[in-house]
Amino acid sequence: MKRAKFISIPQKLAEISFPSYFRAGLIAAGFICLLVLRQASGTFGVSLGYIYIVLISLAGFWFGLRGGIISAICASAIFLIEVGLYPSWPARELVLRGAGFRLMVYLSSGFILGYVSELQKRLSREIEYSAYHDKLTGCVNYTWIVEFLEKEIARSRRFIKEFSIILIDIDHFKSINDTYGHLVGNDALAAFAGVIKDNLRNMDIVGRYGGEEFLVILPELGSGGALVVLERIKRKLSEAKITSRHLKEGITISLQFSAGISSFPYNANNSRDLIKLADDVLYQAKQKGRDRILVERRRCIRLKPAKGLRVEMSRLSDKEKLKIKDVENISERGILFLFPQDIPDKEFLCRISLPGQDFTPEFTCKVAHKNKTEDGVYRVGVYFVDIPTYTRGTLFHFVREEES
């Protein structure tokens, strides 16, 4: 029972977080204190030998195999020097008969505890790496990349910075799996991820978003910079000779990709909308023939209007109210209306009412675009000219709450 209690002492001490220099100093101070105690007692007290093992154990836990062996050698050297320098001390003969066993215990403790400590640290690193990385490509996984995106939004908002995200999807990847097999497809996927990582900055991060789709986060880089990065990746990918150990010698695979770019805060101010917009333009790139890069140009994301939201439009000239068929979507900057008849005016007065609130004061709206649908309805997009800042913030916050 005493031995079990003794072994738990270095384990608990090892769990305490100290700087490396403090740990080394603590172990050195322990050896010095033992020397002083041995000199003060003037005898080879057997109990002090256990304290040497505590120090060796701590060195092994804290500094691994090398630390455990060095501390064991130090303890052994101190012991042999004392035995040689003080022949008249009591119990010397008894200690000498067990000297070999004592030295073996010192060295074994340092080796075993140091090895176990290194093994534990290596396993912890592997588990942590596996928890946040995709094993096939070496990129961070979906969970970690989304978590990083949330942190980057908070950081960029705090320091008033912009950044961009890119969704990249390999074109016709299914045909590679169908033609050469999934093992070759896996090797191609890993090679593709390697090309992306090799052409990013140290501060950039790339994660496997799902299947053959990757999400890249480019801190403090706008959409123009993101385009430069993608063009570099596209050029390097065209030069790369991608092969696989599962292919016959000399056979290489060519890869192309489509990508969509969105930026914070110009396109959206939260992770969900940023990813959605990048995914939308990626889909458009696929629809337009693949092997192309598209940038989201909308300044703010458009959402379906909240239930209970009311909008009034009236002419500037006579303040006559216009008949509105429906509100198709709304953003921080404007509204897309459906009108049953043509609206020749270019400017209007707008009033907005949220559920449970009175109408806001009038503000000016201007027509940004207009078109007639096949069923005779007019789609008119207007943007806010002089909407009060408070009204804009309250309106969009309410709309977003309802949409979520």
Q: Where are the beta strands (DSSP E) in 186-228?
A: 205-210, 213-219
**Among 132, 151, 175, where does a domain finish?**
132
269 and 151 in a single domain? The answer is yes
Residue 342 and residue 376 in contact, taking contact as beta carbons nearer than 8 Å: no
Count of structural domains, the chain: 3
pLDDT of residue 402: 45
122 and 156 in a single domain? The answer is no
Q: Where are the beta strands (DSSP E) in 30-108?
A: none
Residue 343 lies in a domain: yes
Written as one string, the DSSP assignment of 97-146 is HTHHHHHHHHHHHHHHHHHHHHHHHHHHHHHHHHHHB-TTT-SB-HHHHH
Output the CA–CA distances (angstroms, integers) from residue 12 to 62, 63, 90, 289, in the order listed: 12, 15, 34, 62
396 and 314 in a single domain? The answer is yes
Nearest partner of 141 among 51, 206, 61, 185, judged by Cα:
206
Q: Which residues contact 75 (CB under 8 A, 6 or more apart)?
A: 31, 52, 55, 56, 106
11 and 116 in a single domain? The answer is yes
48 and 128 in a single domain? The answer is yes
Q: CATH number of the domain that 179 lies in?
A: 3.30.70.270
pLDDT of residue 49: 63
Q: How far apart are CA 279 and CA 270, in angstroms?
A: 14
Digit-coded pLDDT (tens) for 140-198: 999 899 999 999 999 988 887 889 999 999 999 999 999 999 999 999 999 999 999 99
Residue 350 and residue 362 in contact, taking contact as beta carbons nearer than 8 Å: yes
Q: CATH number of the domain that 341 lies in?
A: 2.40.10.220
β-sheet bridge partners, residue 170: 257
Residue 301 lies in a domain: no
94 and 15 in a single domain? The answer is yes
| Residue ranges in the chain whose pLDDT is less than 50 | 1-14, 400-404
pLDDT of residue 260: 95
215 and 277 in a single domain? The answer is yes
9 and 106 in a single domain? The answer is yes
pLDDT of residue 234: 95
70 and 146 in a single domain? The answer is no
288 and 369 in a single domain? The answer is no
Return the H-helix or E-strand segment holding 89. none
148 and 175 in a single domain? The answer is yes
Residue 304 lies in a domain: no
Three-state SS at 348: strand
Residue 171 lies in a domain: yes
Residue 323 lies in a domain: yes
Q: Secondary structure of the chain: what % helix, strand, coil (to 5)? A: 50, 20, 30
Residue 137 lies in a domain: no
Nearest partner of 193 among 224, 174, 168, judged by Cα:
168
Asked if residue 90 has a cis previous peptide bond (ω within 30° of 0), the answer is no
Nearest partner of 166 among 279, 286, 300, judged by Cα:
279
Q: How far apart are CA 30 and CA 37, in angstroms?
A: 11
For CA atoms 392, 296, 329, 316, give the dihedral sign: positive
pLDDT of residue 126: 73
Residue 265 is classified by DSSP as T
**Among 271, 295, 319, where does a domain finish?**
295
Residue 302 lies in a domain: no
pLDDT of residue 391: 64
Token representation of residue 151: 């942190």
Residue 84 lies in a domain: yes
Output the CA–CA distances (angstroms, integers) from residue 114 to 120, 231, 298, 340, in the order listed: 10, 49, 59, 81
Q: Which domain holds residue 8?
A: 2-132
65 and 120 in a single domain? The answer is yes
**Among 108, 132, 156, where does a domain finish?**
132
